[in-house]
Amino acid sequence: MKKKRIIRDDRIKEVLDILEGMHPEAMCALDHGSEFELLTAVVLSAQTTDVSVNKVTPALFARYPSPEALAAADQSDVIGIIKTIGLYKTKSANIIKLAQKLTSDFGGRVPDTFEELVSLPGVGRKTANVVLAEAFGKPAIAVDTHVFRVANRIGLTDEKDVNATEDSLKERLPESMWIRAHHLLIFHGRKVCHARRPDCESCGLKDICLNNGGTK
C-alpha cells in the first residue's frame, strides 16, 4: 500500500493557526436569515459562485419567505428569479420539491440530522454538512472543490475523492476545529491556493505545504 503523503500530526495546529492568521474573516459567504434560507441557498450554490447566488436570493426569499410559500410556487416563476445561475431548471425544481417535503414531512422546519437532510431533493453530503455546521452548530466538515483541493495539495490529507477526504480530515483534525477548518480551507482556496495558479509566494504555508516542497 502506498504511504500517505501528509503533514505530520504535530504540525496540524500550526497549519490551522497560519490559516487563521491569513483569513480571520473566513465565514459562510451565502447570505441568509434562517435555516430554510441557508438550506435553499446552499442547494442553489452547486456548480456556481456564492456571489451569484447572493444576487438572486433576496428576490427569491422576498417572494417565497417560507417552505410553505415555495412549496406552492410555479416553477416558471422561480426560474425567472434564479435564471442567472447555472443549472437553474434543475435547481428550481429541486428547491420547490425540497420545500414541499419540508412542509409535508417535517412540519415546515429544516431537519437537524444528516440522514434527514440528505433525504431532501437536491441535498447531498456537502449541503447537509454545511447546514449541520452553519445552521445548527453541529461538528461537520463540508468538502467542496476548494476544501478538496487545498487539503490534499498542502498535505492535510492525501486522498483521491471527496468522501475519503472528509473522513481523513475528521480523523486528523480536532472535532472542535471541524467547522472552522472548513471555512479556512475554502477561503484559502478562493484567495490564495487557486486551482490553476496558486499564489505560493504570498502563502503563509509555503514552508510547510508538501506541494511546495515543505518539510513534513
The DSSP annotation for 46-100 comes to TTS-HHHHHHHHHHHHHH--SHHHHHT--HHHHHHHHTTSTTHHHHHHHHHHHHH
Residue 126 shares a structural domain with residue 165:
no
Query: For residue 216, what pLDDT band results from cuts at 50, 70 and 90?
Result: very low
pTM of the full predicted structure?
0.92
Instruction: Inform me whether the pLDDT recorded for 124 exceeds 80.
Output: yes
User: Last residue of a domain, which of 117, 136, 155?
Assistant: 136
The grid cell for 110 is 429544516
User: Last residue of a domain, which of 136, 156, 186?
Assistant: 136
How many other CB atoms are found less than 10 A from the CB of residue 117?
22
Percent of the chain with pLDDT over 70: 96
Chain Cα centroid distance, residue 20: 18
Instruction: Inform me whether the pLDDT recorded for 211 exceeds 60.
Output: yes
Q: Is residue 74 part of a domain?
A: yes
Which residues form the domain of 203? 9-26+141-212
Q: Is residue 3 part of a domain?
A: no
Residue 48 shares a structural domain with residue 126:
yes
71 with 62: CB under 8 angstroms?
Answer: no
Residue 46 shares a structural domain with residue 122:
yes
State the amino acid at position 168 in one-letter form.
Answer: S
- The answer to whether residue 10 is catalytic is no
Instruction: Inform me whether the pLDDT recorded for 212 exceeds 80.
Output: no
Torsion angles phi and psi, residue 84, rounded to 5: -80, -10
User: Last residue of a domain, which of 136, 160, 195?
Assistant: 136
Q: Is residue 1 part of a domain?
A: no
**Whats the size of the chain, residue-wise?**
216
11 burial via Cβ count (<10 Å: 0-12, 13-18, 19+): middle
Residue 149 shares a structural domain with residue 127:
no
Which residue in 91, 101, 126, 206 is the catalytic one? 126
Residue 146: give its domain's CATH number: 1.10.1670.10
How many other CB atoms are found less than 10 A from the CB of residue 132?
21
- Mean pLDDT, the chain, whole residue set: 95
Q: What is the pLDDT of residue 4?
A: 79
The grid cell for 114 is 444528516
Q: What is the pLDDT of residue 166?
A: 98
Which residue in 10, 50, 112, 144 is the catalytic one? 144
- The answer to whether residue 160 is catalytic is no
pLDDT tens track for 4-31: 789 999 999 999 999 999 999 999 999 9
Q: What is the pLDDT of residue 23?
A: 98
Residue 122 shares a structural domain with residue 98:
yes
Q: Is residue 186 part of a domain?
A: yes
Number of domains present in the structure of the chain: 2
5 contacts: CB under 8 Å, gap ≥ 6: 155, 158, 210
pLDDT tens track for 62-101: 999 999 999 999 999 999 999 999 899 999 999 999 999 9
Residue 49: give its domain's CATH number: 1.10.340.30
